[in-house]
Amino acid sequence: MKEGLKYFTDTHLTSIGLLLFFTFFVGIVFWVFRKGSKNYYNQSAQMPLEDDL
């Protein structure tokens, strides 16, 4: 562990950031396309239109 950390420099922060983001992003994409969500999203999208006030 300590050995490994020795090679860590601030330069690696960019790669860590990118890695975090891509994991997060792929997760969300899978999440919104999960089975059976379509109906639910269609209904949510109607929320602003329910009244005319």
Partner 1 sequence: MENRTAQIQNITYDDGIVKKFMLATIVWAGVAFTVGLLIALQLAYWKFNFNLEWLTFGRLRPLHTNAAIFAFAGNAIFAGIYHSTQRLCKTRLFSDALSNIHFWGWQLIIVAAAITLPLGLSQAKEYAELEWPIDIMITLVWVVFAVNFFGTLARRREKHLYVALWFYIATIITVALLHIVNSIEIPVAFMQSYPVWAGIQDALVQWWYGHNAVAFFLTTPFLGLMYYYVPKVVNRPVYSYRLSIIHFWALIFIYIWAGPHHLLYTSLPDWAQNLGMVFSIMLWAPSWGGMINGLLTLRGVWHLVRTEPIVKFFVGALTFYGMVTFEGPLLSIKSISSVGHYTDWIIGHVHSGTLGWNGFLIFGIFYYLVPKLWKTELYSKKLANQHFWIGLTGVLFYYISMVTAGITQGLMWRAIDPKGQLVYPDFIETVTRIIPLYWVRALGGSLYIVGYILFVYNIVKTIKSAPASQSDTVVEYAAPAKSEQITSPEQGHRKLEGMATVFSILAFIAVLVGSLIEIYPTLSLQKYLNPEQMTEPYTALQLAGRDIYTKEGCYLCHSQMIRQLPDDVLRYGPASTIEESMYDHPFQWGSKRTGPDLARVGKKYPNLWHFRHMLNPRDITPNSIMPNYYWLAENNTDFFILRKKVSVMKMLGVPYNDNMLANADRLAEDEAKIIAEDLEKQGAPKGLERKEIVALIAYLQSLGQKAKVAAPVAPQK
> What residue ranges bind partner 1 (CB under 8 A)?
9-11, 13-14, 16-18, 20-21, 24-25, 28-29, 32-37, 40-49, 51, 53
Report the amino acid identity of residue 46: Q
Q: How far is the CB of 6 from partner 1 (least distance, A)?
A: 15
Amino acid letter at 45?
A: A
Smallest gap from Cβ 53 to partner 1, in A, equals 5
Please, what is the minimum distance in Å from the beta carbon of residue 3 to partner 1? Answer: 20
Q: Which residues have CB under 8 Å from 2's CB, separation 6+?
A: none
Residue 49 to residue 32: CA distance in whole angstroms: 22
